[in-house]
Amino acid sequence: MSASTLRAAGMVTLVVAALLGSAYALGRSLVPDHPDRGAGVAASIHTPHYGDQPPSTEFPGPPGGGYGGPSPDASPSASDDARQPDDSEGPYGARTSTGSTRIALTFDDGPDPQWTPQVLALLKEYGVKATFCIVGENAESHPDLVRSIVADGHTICNHSWNHDISLGKRSPAAIRDDLLRTNDAIRAAAPDARIAYFRQPGGAWTYQVVSTCEDLGMTPLHWAVDPTDWQVPGAAKITQTVLAETRPGSIVLMHDAGGDRSGTVEALQRLLPELMHRFQLEALPTGTT
CA 116, CA 261: separation in Å to the nearest integer? 9
Which of 108, 112, 178, 256 is catalytic? The answer is 108
Cross-strand partners of 198: 158, 220
- Contact criterion met (CB below 8 Å) for 230 and 52: yes
46 is catalytic: no
| 98 contact partners, CB below 8 Å, separation of at least 6 | 104, 249, 250, 251, 282, 284
The residue annotated as part of the active site, out of 49, 142, 163, 255, is 255
Q: Is 152 part of the annotated catalytic residue set?
A: no
Identify whether the C-beta of residue 77 lies closer than 8 Å to the C-beta of residue 136.
Answer: no
- C-alpha closest to that of 198 among 151, 160, 162, 147: 160
For residue 131, what are the β-bridge partners?
Answer: 106, 155
Residue 270's H or E segment, with its range, is helix 262-278
- Catalytic residue numbers? 108, 255
